[in-house]
Chains A and B, each alone.
Chain A
Amino acid sequence: MDCRNIQRLLPAYQDKELTGAQVREIEDHLLTCTACRDMKSAVSESWSNLGAWEDSEVPRRARESLMSCVSRQRKMLWIKIALPVAATLVIIFGLTIRYMGYRNEGRIQVPLASTDQMSTEHADVDEDELIADLHILQDEEFFDAVEELVSIDYLPLVEEPSQTETDEQRSSLPVIVT
């Protein structure tokens, strides 16, 4: 056996896992080869050091940090799965509503008036337009006045100085704090 093979077998030799013939061959080689002897000493030393190691408790902070890291990874995994699923469902839902909207829009064709007389009188009326704005048209004057009606609440405040102005007036004299 050459040095490479001997050195490869040294850990097994250390663990006494080799056959008698292999052991004898290695020991004969070690008597004459310094490099392999040094390697054998290094392996033996490592083995004895390993034996000296003791099991010790993982510090609490390190354990918590590791566990939170794992938990974060798990959450991310959930998000990675849930996000595309949610997005797909939302798209399907949105498209369904949109499609239903189109279908019904096509279906709503309201006669402007129940009598033919009305239809001829108001032939220039765009039915769809009128129906679309009916909520405003039926009370247009009121909706036109809403801003004005809301403004009535602000009238008493228009001529009153704001709180900040009042504070500024109050603090016009210098205050010396001792």
Chain B
Amino acid sequence: MTRSMVVLLTAAFVLLQGLSAHADEAMMRRNKILWESMSSEEKDRVIRSYHEWKSSPPQRKERIRRNYDTFNDLSPEEKRMLRARYRNLNSLRPSVRERVREKINRVESLPPENRAEIEKRYLKERERSADERMRHLQGSRFWKDLSDEERDIFKKLINPME
């Protein structure tokens, strides 16, 4: 019985290796097709990104790879929402964007345990209806401390699809 379990675990390991190689290979194939379909301008842009990427510190590369995986795990609706949020953020004037980033940094500078706790609360928050969430947002200290202009900006960032 123990011998069989060892064999099965080995088999599972081999299978995982195989699947991982298969996934890498599928990604390479997709990337190859994508690359071939790009225009010269796009290729030039990607090559510039490549040079930047090469010179990036390993931590940044690791973070971007992690972000890529996080994004890939999202539902299509969540993906669309993040894309829209990104567009809205980039459409802001640089000075305003900087102010928004300062506020976002409050979350990013939280200790891991506090962030985990907030993530848990957010999951509960998501179960509420859109109206309830809006009421909750408008009743929050964060919202009350914002100027009217900032409220407009954050409304578009928090609910970019509306």
B19, A149: Cβ atoms closer than 8 Å: no
A160, B141: Cβ atoms closer than 8 Å: yes
B68, A91: Cβ atoms closer than 8 Å: no
Chain B interface SS verdict (over half): helix
With A148-B104, A159-B141: A94-B28 Cβ-Cβ less than 8 Å: no
With A87-B7, A98-B21, A142-B83: A154-B15 Cβ-Cβ less than 8 Å: no
Q: Is B11 an interface residue (CB 8 A)?
A: yes
B50, A157: Cβ atoms closer than 8 Å: no
B50, A133: Cβ atoms closer than 8 Å: yes
Give per-residue flags for A73-105: 1 if the beta carbon is below 8 A from chain B beta carbons, else 0: 000000110011011101101111110111011
Q: Which residue of A lies closest to B143 (CB)?
A: A156
A90, A143, A154: the one within 8 Å of B14 (CB): A90
A110, A140, A158: the one within 8 Å of B52 (CB): A140
Quick one: which of A124-159 are within 8 Å of B by CB? 125, 129-138, 140, 142-159
B-side interface size class = 35 or more
Q: Is A24 an interface residue (CB 8 A)?
A: no
Q: Is B98 an interface residue (CB 8 A)?
A: no
Q: Is B106 an interface residue (CB 8 A)?
A: yes
A151, B47: Cβ atoms closer than 8 Å: no
Other contacts beyond A132-B31, A148-B108: 18, CB < 8 A = A80-B1, A97-B15, A101-B18, A101-B24, A104-B28, A135-B30, A136-B64, A138-B34, A142-B83, A148-B104, A149-B85, A153-B158, A156-B158, A158-B107, A158-B110, A158-B118, A159-B140, A160-B140
Mark B residues whose CB is within 8 Å of A.
1, 4-5, 7-8, 10-12, 14-19, 21-22, 24-25, 27-32, 34-36, 40, 42-43, 46-47, 49-50, 52-54, 60, 63-65, 67-68, 70-71, 82-83, 85-86, 89, 101, 103-104, 106-108, 110, 115, 117-119, 121-122, 125, 136-137, 140-143, 145, 154, 157-158
